[in-house]
Chain A
Amino acid sequence: MHELSVVIEVVKTVEEFARENGVTRIGKLVLQIGELSSMIPKYIEDCFPCAVDGTSMADTKLEIEILPGNGRCRPCGEVFNMVANRGACPACGAKDAEILSGREFMIKEIVAC
């Protein structure tokens, strides 16, 4: 499954970061996922318990922030949400936009206790 393998990678990265920074207990992990990323937040949440099982993050809570998938229309310059408008510019109707944001998949922060 796509999400599980990626979340396992996230857990490894966070554990490494925690070790380097002398953090022993991670209370919460905050991820940022763009609306245009191939990651489905619901699936990430579902597989998180499996990914942290047996690690130092077994009790860590997961929080996901969604980043908007925005684009700029190449013909007219309008900035709009790609998802809500199904990729079509609400001002001129063109389907030719440059993606500004929304493909991210970031580890934002951890809350150490």
Chain B
Amino acid sequence: MDAFKVLEIKKNVYDGNDRRAESLRGSLRRDGVFMLNLMSSPGSGKTTTVMRTIEALRGELRLGVLEADIDSDVDARTVAGSGTRVIQLHSGGMCHLTADMARQGLDGLGTDGLDLVILENIGNLICTAEVDVGASRSAMILSVPEGDDKPLKYPMMFERVDALLINKIDALSLFDFDIEAVKERVTAMNPKARIFPISAKTGEGVAEWADWLRSAVRDWKRA
């Protein structure tokens, strides 16, 4: 019989990624580039919201966008149309981005001269919440057609974000969506989360969200 020995590792599986995320956060800090990790389910209006955010911050913050999808470049084309520096990442079937992929994306984008990079994560409310990509702050979008019960169903995402955008409020009359119930549920699990009802389509509420983001970037740069 072979001689064998047991070696204890006792390592959290996410340690490797967490380490790389910390190191990425450190290099972004040195370069003075704020990265926002923007998450949501597919079809919540992430790209439209990104476009509105670009418009609202134009002339104040130099902005870049990382578009992550499993395939296609439709989102990157949309954003590029606004004259913003953008790169499309393909996760090749993976359902979330890792810190390594974010770093590759940032290298490809080139962050020199940028104040803010919005990382549009893959449309998914589950593991994107678990995996640290090295962002300075995180935000998520919940859209009205998805329903007000999502904080109950996908608690981890709602527990961890710094800001929650409730998008498509122009469609409120068509759905049984209770904004107050969402606010109550989210505040109970994450008292620090700032909540912004918006319509990326009409622009309603976008100014308040942009104000928050602008202050978040400035406070971070000063810190």
Q: A residues touching B (Cβ–Cβ < 8 Å)?
A: 1-2, 5-6, 9-10, 12-14, 17, 21, 23, 27, 31, 38, 104-113
Q: Could you tell me the distance in whole angstroms from the C-beta of A6 to the nearest C-beta in chain B?
A: 6
- Chain A residues, Cβ within 8 Å of B3: 113
Q: Is the CB of B93 within 8 A of A1?
A: yes
- Chain A residues, Cβ within 8 Å of B10: 106-109
> Which residue from chain B places its CB closest to the CB of A7 in the assembled complex?
B13
Whether A108 contacts B16 in the complex (CB less than 8 A), given A2-B96, A113-B2, comes out as no
- Chain B residues, Cβ within 8 Å of A113: 2-4
CB of B176 closer than 8 Å to a CB of A:
no
Q: Could you tell me the distance in whole angstroms from the C-beta of B101 to the nearest C-beta in chain A?
A: 10
Question: How far apart are the CA atoms of A113 and B6 in the complex, in Å?
Answer: 9
**30 CB < 8 A contacts A-B:** A1-B93, A2-B95, A2-B126, A2-B127, A5-B94, A5-B98, A12-B16, A13-B9, A13-B11, A13-B13, A27-B4, A31-B13, A38-B126, A104-B12, A106-B11, A106-B12, A107-B12, A107-B13, A108-B10, A109-B7, A109-B8, A109-B10, A110-B6, A111-B7, A112-B4, A112-B5, A112-B6, A112-B7, A113-B3, A113-B4
Chain B, interface residues (CB within 8 Å), range: 20 to 34
Question: How far apart are the CA atoms of A27 and B16 in the complex, in Å?
Answer: 23
- Chain A residues, Cβ within 8 Å of B12: 104-107
Which parts of B12-45 form the interface with A (CB within 8 Å)? 12-17
Given contacts A108-B9, A111-B5, 17 further A-B contacts (CB under 8 A): A2-B94, A2-B126, A5-B96, A9-B16, A9-B98, A13-B9, A13-B11, A13-B16, A14-B9, A17-B9, A38-B127, A107-B10, A107-B12, A107-B13, A109-B8, A110-B9, A112-B7
- Contact partner of A10 (CB less than 8 A), chosen from B4, B6, B13, is B13
Q: Is the CB of A23 within 8 A of B13?
A: no
- Chain B residues, Cβ within 8 Å of A38: 126-127, 130
Max count, chain B CB within 10 A of own CB: residue among A21, A31, A109: A109
Would you give the 0/1 interface string for B75-103, flagging 1 where the beta carbon is closer than 8 Å to chain A? 00000000000000000011110100000
> Which residue from chain A places its CB closest to the CB of B92 in the assembled complex?
A5
Main secondary structure of the interface of A (DSSP, over half): mixed
Q: Could you tell me the distance in whole angstroms from the C-beta of B112 to the nearest C-beta in chain A?
A: 30
- Contact partner of A108 (CB less than 8 A), chosen from B8, B15, B93, is B8
- Chain B residues, Cβ within 8 Å of A5: 94-96, 98
> Which residue from chain A places its CB closest to the CB of B11 in the assembled complex?
A107
Would you give the 0/1 interface string for B106-130, flagging 1 where the beta carbon is closer than 8 Å to chain A? 0000000000000000000011001
Question: How far apart are the CA atoms of A17 and B6 in the complex, in Å?
Answer: 13
> Which residue from chain B places its CB closest to the CB of A110 in the assembled complex?
B7
